Amino acid sequence: MSQDQGSSQAGGRLIRVPILTRVEGEGALNIRLRGSSIEGVELNIYEPPRFFEALLRGRPIEDVADITSRICGICPIAYQMTAVQAIESILGVGVPASIADLRRLVYCAEWIESHVLHIHLLHAPDFFDCHSAMELVKKFPVEVKRGLRLKQIGNRILEVLGGRAIHPINIAIGGFYRLPKESEIRELIPMVQQGLEGAMQAARWLSGLSFPDFSVPYNYVSLTHPERYPIESGEIAIDEDLIIQACQYESHFQEVQVPHSTALQSRRMPDRGEYFVGPMARLYYNQSRLTPQAKQLADQIGFDARRCNPHQSILARAIETVFAFEESLRILTSLSYRELYQSPCQVAYVPKAGGGQSLTEAPRGLIFHRYQIDAQGHVESAKIVPPTSQNQARIEADLVCLLEQMHAQSDRAIAQACERLVRTYDPCISCSTHFLKVKIDRL
Amino acid sequence: MQENPVLPVKNAVKPRVAVVKFASCDGCQLTLLDCEDELLAIADRVHFAHFAEASSDLQPGPYDLTIVEGSVSTPEDRHRIVKLRAQSKKLITIGACATAGGVQALRNFASSDEYKKAVYASPEMIQTLSDSTPIARHVQVDFELRGCPVDKQQLIEVLLAFAEGRQPKTSTESVCQPCKRRGTVCVVVAQKKPCLGPVTQAGCGSICPAYDRGCYACFGPSAQPNMRGLSEGLLSGKLSNPQAAMFLQSFHAASDEFAAESLRLWQIESRSGKTKEAT
């Protein structure tokens, strides 16, 4: 936690967390309390806006993956993949199965790198009264070093397939600019086998944690797919009884602008309700479609997304990390190299005017891109809805529930608990292209 | 995990380091956390006194070294960087945003009000400057490390050099030299692809040509780049003037050399457009 600044004025309290820590990007929290009543909770995103949707206008479609990648250094693949798929849908381009497999593999690698980072470096310190992984490593050297090793394996897959781990350069409309050599791909297998074992050990370690008692009924939203755990495609599960097609996304969800944030908040329509995207939501709808070892692990540690305890999201990420390793291994060992190298690595295309969209599951949850392009292949308009702007309203609603339980406690305890709750979401503030901040006012 | 004694401990007093963020994607800070083998060794050698992404223990300055990611793009940040400089013995900037304004500096070539309107329903709520600018435009900077994102090995070298009190050794050659050494067949010559390698500073490992695509200049202009030579010799015939201008306007759009050449190409285009209209 950063230095929380409390102040009392005429029986009210203002509690501020001016810098949220161990999150990606910059935000703050403002809380205003009067006695037991909560007058306001704002997650302020003061991350400066960078206007991606505007600066994409007029750019050639080939630039979109490289530019949208720069929205987030932690999950560039999510942006690149969603962008190229949206554009491919406009151009009517379909990629061969082996290319689709490699794309799923590189997306798995990003889940690994991002989840392992959040679990070990950002979230786990909260459970052991540590400020950072640098402190945590003194108590748990084996566990933290194992985490760093797992992250390295995720990054290695990204380097082989993407050219580099941060802002990969190899994701193209129609496939890849170049395919790695068979030997380069095969070299990943023993590493991924080792990673799977390490990820299982990490999940078992985390299953022994004790979690703060907190539960709110959530409206989970995630992709769902009849055959496999959703990453790069699927329909959208909105609740138990409602599954919609990707093309219906914008008629069910809408972005609204709030004064305290440079991020637009996304709400479910028509009642403007909050909803929850990310690993917990994905497991809620798709636990039965996990890979065998991940499924067994989830059962063994008794994970149940229906408990709706956001603090357990660390388990959800651990389970998904096991899944991502297992799925990577499946792809690597079942890949048809003959088919892969037989056809060109990039399907040829001709620009044409039109609009199209794509939805995928970024490590932090559902991500939506829509583009309109002209006949020469230039972007006319772009709309990007990152996971954190969808979760932002839900985070604020969670904070209100938490404050109802603990308003009588000290400003310091409140600020600490609130920040911890925010962190369970793994918010990516840099991603919320448009923008988050915590301060608490007790009035 | 293999032990990597990257930063040998010389004395017991660790320098106090701050890592701070301005407008950026977090990727360059993440590069520090991506130093998996070296991270713990680095943390043994320097004390991260203020590193919000990695630690909730945020200590006030002064700092021996401040590492800055991101560009200045809001009125508030313009003041924040000045205060930060006053608290820092040394200040190093990392990444294209901090050293050149980043991809968000594309707004410097457009109307910032139009950009706001394109993204926000109530643009008046959004406080930004019309330009995104590098840190060195606002305060004195001791060393600039290029890259979008920065290279891990170069970042470690910069930290090591700081700990040893010397200048970092980072290359100023162009992407072409390491590209040749890597044994990549030139994509301009063999595949007739446009490539910014000849005018771009090395550091990434010349990755793009090795993946069969032209360099798009993540590391910004190399020392004394021959921009006219590039446009007239390598890009012309492959790209129209507006296409070539846009090719130069990406993550280092606001770097002096790239900005000047892209504007020159736009001007040629608008002049020839007028000539065509007149005839």
Residue B217's contacts (CB-CB under 8 Å, 6 or more residues apart) are B196, B199, B200, B248, B250, B251, B252, B258
Mutate to test the interface with B, among A55, A75, A122, A145 (most CBs of B within 10 A): A55
Six token digits for residue B177? 């030299």
Chain A closest CA to B1's CA: distance in Å?
7
Nearest-by-CA chain A residue for B45:
A134
pLDDT for res A125: 96
Q: How confident is the model at residue B128 (pLDDT cuts 50, 70, 90)?
A: confident
Smallest Cβ–Cβ distance between A134 and the set B21, B36, B55 belongs to B55
The pLDDT tens digits for B171-210 are: 889 999 999 999 999 999 999 999 999 999 999 999 999 9
What is the residue extent of each domain of chain B? 16-164, 176-278
The pLDDT tens digits for B60-73 are: 999 999 999 999 99
Higher pLDDT, A38 or B220: B220
Q: Where in chain A is the domain with CATH 1.10.645.10?
A: 73-212+334-349
Which residues does chain A have within 8 Å of residue B125's beta carbon, measured at their own beta carbons?
A: 257, 259
Q: Do residue A433 and residue B211 have CB atoms under 8 angstroms apart? A: no
Is domain B16-164 in CATH 3.50.50.60, yes or no? no
Least confident of A361-365, B21-25, B116-120, B139-143: B116-120
Partnered with residue A366 across adjacent β-strands are A361
Cα A71 to Cα A24: distance, rounded to the nearest angstrom = 12
A77 touching B (Cβ < 8 Å): no
Q: How confident is the model at residue B10 (pLDDT cuts 50, 70, 90)?
A: very low
Which residues does chain A have within 8 Å of residue B106's beta carbon, measured at their own beta carbons?
A: 55
Look up the pTM and report it: 0.94
Residue B86's contacts (CB-CB under 8 Å, 6 or more residues apart) are none
The pLDDT tens digits for A247-268 are: 899 999 988 777 766 667 788 8
Under a CB-based contact definition with an 8 Å cutoff, are residues A255 and A389 in contact? Answer: yes
Which candidate, A46, A47, A1, A44, places its Cα nearest to that of A22? A1
Kindly give the parts of chain A with pLDDT less than 70: 1-11, 260-263, 430-443
Select from 1.10.645.10, 3.40.50.2000, 3.90.1150.10, 3.40.50.2300 the CATH code of A73-212+334-349.
1.10.645.10
Mutate to test the interface with B, among A68, A70, A128 (most CBs of B within 10 A): A70
Report chain B's mean pLDDT, rounded to a whole number: 89
At residue A199, what is the residue type?
A
Which residues does chain A have within 8 Å of residue B251's beta carbon, measured at their own beta carbons?
A: 70
- Res. B2: pLDDT tops 70: no
Cα B33 to Cα A66: distance, rounded to the nearest angstrom = 22
Mutate to test the interface with B, among A51, A255, A371 (most CBs of B within 10 A): A51
Q: How confident is the model at residue B122 (pLDDT cuts 50, 70, 90)?
A: low
pLDDT for res A1: 41
Cα B244 to Cα B242: distance, rounded to the nearest angstrom = 5
The interface predicted TM-score (ipTM) is 0.92
pLDDT for res A94: 97
Which candidate, A442, A397, A279, A392, places its Cα nearest to that of A27? A392
CB pairs under 8 A between A and B: 189
CB burial of residue A321 (10 Å; 0-12, 13-18, 19+): buried
